[in-house]
Amino acid sequence: MTTSSALQPVAPTDSAGLGQSAKPNRLHTSESDAIASDNQQGTQRKRVQWSTITVHEFGVGLGGSTVSERGGPSIGLADKPEFTWTTNVGEMAECSEGIHRFSPEQRTRLLKTAGVPDAIISRYSRETNIILRSRRRTILEDAIESSEDEDEVETEDDDSDNDDGDDPYHSVCRKRKADSQHSIKPQITMDPSELLVSPAMGALGLSTVDLSLCGLYLVSVLGVGLFFTLREQRERVRQQAQAKLGMGSGDEVLEEYYLGGRRIPCGDEVLEEYYLGGRRIPWWALAVADVSSYIDISGTMINTALIYALGIKGMYIEIRGGMCLFLAFQLAFTGKLSRRCPVKTRGEWIKFRFGDRREGVLLRTTIALTSLISGIFAVTYFAVGGGKFVTEFVAFPSWWGLPSEFWAAALLMFWAAALLMVIALLYTVAAGFTTVVYTDVYQSVFIFSTFLVVGVMGATVNLPSSFTVFLPQKSENGASSMVPWNVTRSEWLFAGTRSSLHLPPSTSYAMYDSFDVIVFTYLAIQCMRSASGPGGSGLQTVLATKSEKEVRSQTFLAMLLLALRWAFSGGIAVMAIQYTVQHAGVVIDPERVVPVVIDKMLPDGLKGFVLASLLAAAMTTFDTTINSTSSYWTVDIYQALLRPDASEKQLLWHARVSTFIIMILGLLLSLHVHTINRIWGFMTIAMAGAFIWPFFFSWYWARFNAYGYLCGVLSGFIAAMAIFIFTPLLSELQSFLITSSISCIVSLVVTLTTRGSPSQVVRRFYRFARPPGAWGQIKDVCFTRSEISDIDRENRADLACTVLIAVAQVALYVLSVSVVAKAWVQVGVLSAVLVCVSPWIYFKWYLHLQDRPVGLRASDLRAQLLD
């Protein structure tokens, strides 16, 4: 998350005979949209392009030389990359004109536009406000004069704030200010292939209405969270009172699941309330909360970036994860298979599948540790995107030498954690999963409303026949260099695949050039990954449902609601293209398209509404992720290994402390990750290679054991970490091939050379889950031949329908973007696909499904099942 600005050591120069040298700063090109000035009413902001910003009359150093203020040839930035500017503090203080017209926030934004590092801005701001105002004014003056010749800027001296005396520097500045009114100032021109995007604008360019909406939203979220926390607290007290009336003081609570109810130990009841909401939450609320946990700022920014840069077909890159293709598998069969297992977390599922022998305990611990690390990466992913987003609107200083994006992400994270931590400190366990779900439902009102509005706005845009988009250049140090790419409207709208996109090889997106191969490889990876069951917060949502029928209902609703997310991304992408067409020379980092469009193209009021909704998306994702990740420590490590008899107070304390530590570690890791695409691609492809084969084998192969699972996950995970640290520029597919090959080979070799899982454990698992695959004699032991026939028939129907559901899901999402972009022929084809596929799914599959009871039946509790 380092910025592209840096303090550069440059030799002192003598600017136009001033006789003094000054500290230079490297000047970078902006994203081309600095605030130039307010109009006479002070409401409309004028934008100027950095490609026409002129050299300041103070004197501009170029490779140690001085450019005269009386004019000169245009300077090619590509030829002189070490362009620097020098000035003197005293000069700037006296030469500021009309500085009262600009607020401190506007001045900060203009300094950021000039590429001045945050640390310098903060230091000068502390020393004297005049310095900040003067530097801001000089950049503004030259930008307006060179790019808007017709604009006249009224100026007036600001001598009242400065006691000049007879300082020769002040005299020189006054003289040069008068001379400069008749001088011709040299312009800086840019080679488009060498454009450098400056860090975020960092100004608080929000109206009072926008700020009020955001503030009211944040306060209201805390209020909603508090309300549901109190409600859950009362419900829990009521249940405890009923439990005491229903059993004597000497009764022993048995851990057993049975049809019509369940009885579990006190510690497990506490954790089930905290992590699953007591399995009392309505399915529609779980669906809405599930969708809101998938709609985060970082994911929305990378989805939009791919559509903006590659066209509608760029959506297919997100088959790797952002398209949530696992929902098709979850709707068809993996959701009900997972819900049949009486567990609360992935770690408990491992114990249920492989038993509690030594290898099972080691495996559960390994999965918990790797899941913790994966959760830290998820927090980093959140921090990178959140930092980029927030710094487009709010100026953050670079305290302690850390970039402003770091502090912006920290603000988002700790505010989101307040929804869980602060309320939990007051009202204990009730501020767990139930509070998360209902606050997510409330926030989703903002999210889905915004998606609809922005989608409709995008549909009003008419794209030109050809235009230019910008692609990020390959970089190891995080410099935001952009490469222009010219495309036609028809090519951008086309949603079919291509054998090659002919992308510039110098861009980081060049790894997607072999488009057909990339997309179908991602599809194969996701099919295997999705067939291995839901994970993370998705598993938590599935386990919180009451029955198999509710799993299907909540998954179907979640799948439909996600279409609105893609409509939003499509709307933002077309509006970004419209903005760059209307403002020649504008350079936009694809990963900053979302905040740039919000800032530049949305009116006041609506801007605040959209910001509030995206803040909602950020916090719903974060609180769900952090709640799920902390459970691996609390349930699978602390309670399972360290303190099996831990009290409710101890368990909750560890849940909160682990949440805080995970946040800190993820935030620190974000300092070494510069792009959303890198961390997201690593998480969904490279890191997934470590888990995909062990997870797949564990569901569909009876012989697969805990040793094979343990060694496969561990070897693949170590390989993934090595790739992340030592070869950051390795492509996603190469990384996946390395990690998955290692994991698969190790899993098979270890499984075939070690003893299998205990037969009673395998039989118990199959009796619950009844999955398809190689289960051999296990089926005959657990069920009769007629029952086996019914199970096999159901599994075959589920697998066949999975393909159709996946086709319908992809068609629905591409359709939503095509409608916004007005690709009408494409809309007709995709609509026909949905019309043909949907009735078949409903009549041939859905109507024949049975809602089996979840958990063990009374007969299943008999001893013969476990013998």
Whether the predicted pLDDT of 519 surpasses 60: yes
What per-residue confidence (pLDDT) applies to 290?
86
Characterize the bridge pairing of strands 188-189 and 75-76. parallel
What per-residue confidence (pLDDT) applies to 423?
45
pLDDT band, very low/low/confident/very high, at 592 (cuts 50, 70, 90): confident
DSSP assignment of 319-353, as one string?
GGTTT-THHHHIIIIIHHHHHTS--SSHHHHHHHH
Three-state DSSP at 80 gives: coil
Residue 849: what residue type?
A: L
Q: Would you mind telling me the total number of residues written for the chain in this entry?
A: 867
More confident residue, 608 or 385: 608
Domain boundaries of the chain, sorted by first residue: 15-196, 208-852
Q: What is the mean pLDDT of residues 329-352?
A: 85
Q: At CA 439, angle to CA 438 and CA 440, rounded to 5?
A: 85
> Locate tokens 């998350």: which residue?
1
Contacts of 117 by beta carbon, 8 Å cutoff, 6+ apart: 3, 5, 6, 7, 25, 398
Instruction: Work out the mean pLDDT of the chain and round it to a whole number.
Output: 71
CA 757 to chain centre: 39
Question: Quick one: which of 206, 231, 179, 27 has its CA closest to 113?
Answer: 27
Contacts of 759 by beta carbon, 8 Å cutoff, 6+ apart: none
Measured N-to-C along each axis, helices 732-753 and 692-700 cross at an angle, to the nearest 10 degrees, of 40
Whether the predicted pLDDT of 354 surpasses 80: yes
Three-state DSSP at 465 gives: coil
What per-residue confidence (pLDDT) applies to 386?
73
For the question of whether the overall pTM of this predicted structure is more than 0.75, the answer is no
Least confident of 20-34, 108-122, 216-230, 826-840: 20-34
Asked if residues 394 and 204 have their Cβ atoms less than 8 Å apart, the reply is yes
More confident residue, 77 or 357: 357
Question: Quick one: which of 462, 479, 470, 192 has its CA closest to 310?
Answer: 470
pLDDT band, very low/low/confident/very high, at 368 (cuts 50, 70, 90): confident
CA distances from 358 to 642, 753, 762 (A): 15, 17, 16
In sign, the C-alpha dihedral spanning 458, 464, 465, 471 is negative
The helix (run of H) or strand (run of E) holding residue 530 is helix 515-531
Asked if residues 39 and 443 have their Cβ atoms less than 8 Å apart, the reply is no
In sign, the C-alpha dihedral spanning 593, 484, 496, 317 is negative
Whether the predicted pLDDT of 126 surpasses 60: no
Q: What percent of the chain has a predicted confidence (pLDDT) above 90?
A: 21
What per-residue confidence (pLDDT) applies to 62?
28
Question: Quick one: which of 298, 317, 310 has its CA closest to 577?
Answer: 310
CA dihedral (125, 129, 133, 135) in degrees, to 10, reads: -50
pLDDT band, very low/low/confident/very high, at 329 (cuts 50, 70, 90): very high
Upper half-sphere CA count for residue 312 (Cβ side, 13 Å) = 26
Least confident of 112-126, 504-518, 543-557: 112-126
> Locate tokens 């159901």: which residue?
794
More confident residue, 265 or 782: 782
Whether the predicted pLDDT of 161 surpasses 90: no
What per-residue confidence (pLDDT) applies to 491?
93
DSSP assignment of 468-501, as one string?
EEEEEBP-SS---EEEEEEEEHHHHH--S--S--
Dig out the tokens for 326 from the structure: 């696992």
pLDDT band, very low/low/confident/very high, at 115 (cuts 50, 70, 90): low
Whether the predicted pLDDT of 213 surpasses 70: yes
Contacts of 242 by beta carbon, 8 Å cutoff, 6+ apart: none
Residue 58: what residue type?
A: F
The secondary structure of residue 25, as a DSSP letter, is: E
CA distance 507 to 590: 12
Residue 6: what residue type?
A: A
- Domain 208-852 class, CATH top level: mainly alpha
Measured N-to-C along each axis, helices 104-113 and 129-147 cross at an angle, to the nearest 10 degrees, of 60
CA distance 419 to 751: 44
Question: Quick one: which of 471, 617, 591 has its CA closest to 200?
Answer: 591
What per-residue confidence (pLDDT) applies to 403?
60
Three-state DSSP at 65 gives: strand
Three-state DSSP at 249 gives: coil
Q: What percent of the chain has a predicted confidence (pLDDT) above 70?
A: 62
User: Which tens digits make up the pLDDT trace of 773-831?
Assistant: 899 888 888 888 888 898 899 899 999 999 999 999 999 999 999 999 999 999 999 99
What per-residue confidence (pLDDT) applies to 410?
63
Kindly tell me the burial class for residue 85, based on how many C-beta atoms sit within 10 Å of its own C-beta (0-12, 13-18, 19 or more): buried
Whether the predicted pLDDT of 577 surpasses 80: yes
More confident residue, 110 or 248: 110
pLDDT band, very low/low/confident/very high, at 327 (cuts 50, 70, 90): very high
User: Which tens digits make up the pLDDT trace of 631-641?
Assistant: 778 877 888 77
H helix runs in 602-731, sequence order = 606-633, 648-669, 676-681, 692-700, 706-726
Residue 702: what residue type?
A: A
In sign, the C-alpha dihedral spanning 105, 111, 113, 119 is negative
Name beta bridge partners: 468.
486
pLDDT band, very low/low/confident/very high, at 21 (cuts 50, 70, 90): very low
What per-residue confidence (pLDDT) applies to 419?
53
CA distance 355 to 374: 24
Other Cβ atoms within 10 Å of 863 Cβ, number: 6
Q: At CA 415, angle to CA 724 and CA 453, rounded to 5?
A: 90
Asked if residues 193 and 468 have their Cβ atoms less than 8 Å apart, the reply is no
User: Which tens digits make up the pLDDT trace of 727-774?
Assistant: 877 888 889 999 999 999 999 999 999 988 888 889 999 998 899 989
Contacts of 427 by beta carbon, 8 Å cutoff, 6+ apart: 229, 230, 232, 233
Whether the predicted pLDDT of 215 surpasses 50: yes
CA distance 133 to 94: 11
Upper half-sphere CA count for residue 351 (Cβ side, 13 Å) = 16
User: Which tens digits make up the pLDDT trace of 77-105?
Assistant: 333 333 333 333 333 333 333 333 345 55
Question: Quick one: which of 132, 150, 153, 133 has its CA closest to 141?
Answer: 153
Whether the predicted pLDDT of 308 surpasses 90: yes
User: Which tens digits make up the pLDDT trace of 136-155?
Assistant: 445 444 544 544 444 443 44
CA distance 196 to 198: 6
What per-residue confidence (pLDDT) applies to 396?
58
Contacts of 612 by beta carbon, 8 Å cutoff, 6+ apart: 213, 214, 216, 217, 446
Dig out the tokens for 449 from the structure: 């409303």
Q: At CA 185, angle to CA 182 and CA 189, rounded to 5?
A: 160
CA distance 310 to 542: 34
Contacts of 250 by beta carbon, 8 Å cutoff, 6+ apart: none
What per-residue confidence (pLDDT) applies to 827?
95
> Locate tokens 């690709």: which residue?
823
Asked if residues 857 and 258 have their Cβ atoms less than 8 Å apart, the reply is yes
Other Cβ atoms within 10 Å of 199 Cβ, number: 28
Asked if residues 332 and 802 have their Cβ atoms less than 8 Å apart, the reply is yes
Dig out the tokens for 236 from the structure: 């829990």
Q: At CA 392, angle to CA 191 and CA 121, rounded to 5?
A: 85
Asked if residues 686 and 396 have their Cβ atoms less than 8 Å apart, the reply is no
Three-state DSSP at 447 gives: helix
pLDDT band, very low/low/confident/very high, at 274 (cuts 50, 70, 90): low
CA distance 113 to 136: 10
pLDDT band, very low/low/confident/very high, at 407 (cuts 50, 70, 90): low
H helix runs in 247-325, sequence order = 266-276, 283-294, 297-310
Asked if residues 408 and 132 have their Cβ atoms less than 8 Å apart, the reply is no
Question: Quick one: which of 448, 452, 409, 441 has its CA closest to 620?
Answer: 441
Upper half-sphere CA count for residue 389 (Cβ side, 13 Å) = 30
Residue 76 sits at φ, ψ, to 5 deg, of: -80, 115
| Helices vs. strands in the chain: H and E counts, helices first | 30, 13
Contacts of 603 by beta carbon, 8 Å cutoff, 6+ apart: none
Question: Quick one: which of 301, 106, 133, 122 has its CA closest to 202?
Answer: 106
